[in-house]
Amino acid sequence: MPLEPPPPLPVRRAPLPVAWRAALWRSRFAVVALCLGVAAASAVDAVRPAPPSTVPVVIASHDLDAGTALTGADVEIRRLPAGLAPARSYRSPSDVVGTPTAVPVAAGLPVVPGVLVTDDVRGPAGTVVTAVRFADGAVAGLLRPGMRVDVVAATPEGAVAGTVAVRALVLPVPAEASAPADGSGLLGGSGGDEPAPVLLAVSPDEATALAGAAASALLSPVVVR
């Protein structure tokens, strides 16, 4: 009968030094506390709700008096929770720059349509608004608010008399000023084939020149950049 090999001898590990074992024993509470802290932090992160979505809102950078024509320095963007932002708030400073305030606005308050002047018949600073009837109503109908036009005057015979306004700004016509079906309206429409007036923001001198030219010349718009 073959002999079985003897069992392997157990491997003995060298014991930890006494100083190490004492240090581990003394620090056992700190290790347990650290583990509990890590576990608690992980649990909090797991149940913490996601941060609320935010939207940009235009707010007043400082106290604004009524009648202040807003500039970029008067407003700034602040992100507010979507549920707290006013429904009709503006999202970009460019939406309000140049518009006067109708009431005082305290610093930090959102700028909303209710605190701004809503009159559309208003041009940039230093301009006045005038209503111009162009000779060609079809061409006038192609003009849109925001376009810039030169106004050219011509004699009934077709000779060009000159340019009476340069880079005039086409303004929107308020809804209440639009001519109704009977041809009357706040802008003096008389019905028939007479073209509807176009509101232009021009310099005071150009407004005078336009009024004089309208009495004896035919006016035409030239769209410019």
Quickly state the pLDDT bin for 3 (edges 50, 70, 90).
Answer: low
Could you tell me the fold of the domain covering 52-118? Type Iii Antifreeze Protein Isoform Hplc 12 (3.90.1210)
What are the φ/ψ torsions at residue 18 (nearest 5 degrees)?
-60, -40
Q: Is the pLDDT of residue 34 over 60?
A: yes
> What does the DSSP 8-state code read for residue 47?
H
> What does the DSSP 8-state code read for residue 104?
-
Q: Which pLDDT tens digit goes with each residue over 89-131?
A: 898 998 888 887 767 889 999 988 877 766 556 777 788 888 8
DSSP string, 148-216: EEEEEEE-TTS-EEEEEEEEEEE-PPPGGGS--TTS--TT----TTPPPPEEEEE-HHHHHHHHHHHHH
Instruction: State pTM to two decimals.
Output: 0.46
What are the extents of the domains in the chain? Answer: 52-118, 128-224
* Both structure tokens of 75: 């407003």
